[in-house]
Amino acid sequence: MSGRLEVMKTYKLYINGAFPRTESGRSYEITSNKGEFLANACLASRKDLRDAVVAARAAQSSWAKATAFNRGQIMYRIAEMLEGRSDQFAQEISLQTGSSAKESLQEVSDSVDLLVWYAGWSDKLPSLAGSTNPVSGPFYNFTVPEPLGVVGVIAPIDKPLFGFVAAIAPILVSGNTAVALASSTAPLSAISFAEVVATSDLPNGVLNVLSGQQSELAPWFASHMDIDGLDISGLPVDQHGAVKEAGVENLKRISTFTKSSEPGRILAFMEAKTVWHPIGN
């Protein structure tokens, strides 16, 4: 026996730019598809969710106020950072899901390319989704899309990296902040992705990542009064009704998506603001 003992990573949560353990002190075992131990992931609690929402709310207005150009550049920077760690991410995906090295590397490349695609929308979508409106009267009237605020994500179980990126990129690019629950069975990719984000100049609190059980946390995402929108694409369809019902208390905007790259995913978490001003002297 020669060789050295591997230094294993402790996977923690990502809240407000820091990597805390869950306040609950709980963890759950993540295994490979062959049943080998991979890590003890944090089993995030309702309190962790609330802390993450506080961070996301605090970060939201300044992120929305950043110029579209700046937000686009930061999103592109995330893609750059991810590209440089492709092999590590591919290996991590394969360990968790059992997909082949080639498939996993493809998932990473797809994730990088999707980030680049969404990054470019930041300073273009408002031109397409806004309008100047020809009203009957001496008024200048225009409509602009604005970010919704704090958006929750229940990420898909499959495609632990690509599914996560496809959910958070369209939310962040418009100026929303996000609290995202990683794939319950394969959360390691999302937690590692947080390390990429942490080195990409994304302001603290703009993206917050939790690992834990959908069944435990989804109801709290749904009923939280300071979450404005929710992407439940990753949640089994038979649970959508209950989540939507709980979301009614603050008329949360709740959506599911089937396509990964479409501007509609960005617009689902934006509001249209219409402004009138008289013309004349």
Interface ranges with other proteins (CB under 8 A): 125, 128-129, 131, 133-137, 139, 141, 143, 228, 241-242, 244-245, 247-251, 253, 255-259, 262-265, 267-268, 271-278
What is the DSSP code string of 43-102? ---HHHHHHHHHHHHHHHHHHHHS-HHHHHHHHHHHHHHHHHTHHHHHHHHHHHH---HH
Residue 228: CB minimum distance to other proteins, A:
8
Residue 200: CB minimum distance to other proteins, A:
26
Residue 119: CB minimum distance to other proteins, A:
17
Residue 133: CB minimum distance to other proteins, A:
4
Residue 16: CB minimum distance to other proteins, A:
23
Rank residues 92 and 231 by Cβ distance to other proteins and give the closer one. 231
Contacts for 74 with CB less than 8 Å, ≥ 6 apart: 66, 200, 201, 202
Rank residues 19 and 139 by Cβ distance to other proteins and give the closer one. 139
Residue 272: CB minimum distance to other proteins, A:
5
Name which of 170, 200, 184 is nearest 83 in CA terms: 200
Rank residues 53 and 129 by Cβ distance to other proteins and give the closer one. 129
In whole angstroms, give the CA distance from residue 129 to residue 119. 16
CA–chain centroid gap for 234, Å, is: 12
Rank residues 161 and 270 by Cβ distance to other proteins and give the closer one. 270
In whole angstroms, give the CA distance from residue 107 to residue 38. 20
Rank residues 76 and 139 by Cβ distance to other proteins and give the closer one. 139
Rank residues 87 and 226 by Cβ distance to other proteins and give the closer one. 226
Rank residues 98 and 264 by Cβ distance to other proteins and give the closer one. 264
Half-sphere CA count of 68, side-chain side, radius 13 A: 13
In whole angstroms, give the CA distance from residue 201 to residue 183. 25
258-265, long-range: CB within 8 Å, 24+ apart, which pairs?
A: 258/233, 260/114, 260/162, 260/166, 261/114, 261/117, 261/118, 261/166, 263/121, 263/125, 263/128, 263/129, 265/166, 265/170
Contacts for 19 with CB less than 8 Å, ≥ 6 apart: 12, 13, 194, 198
Residue 138: CB minimum distance to other proteins, A:
10
Residue 30: CB minimum distance to other proteins, A:
31
DSSP 8-state symbol, 182: P
Rank residues 101 and 128 by Cβ distance to other proteins and give the closer one. 128
For the chain, the distance separating the N- and C-terminal CA atoms, rounded to the nearest angstrom, is 88
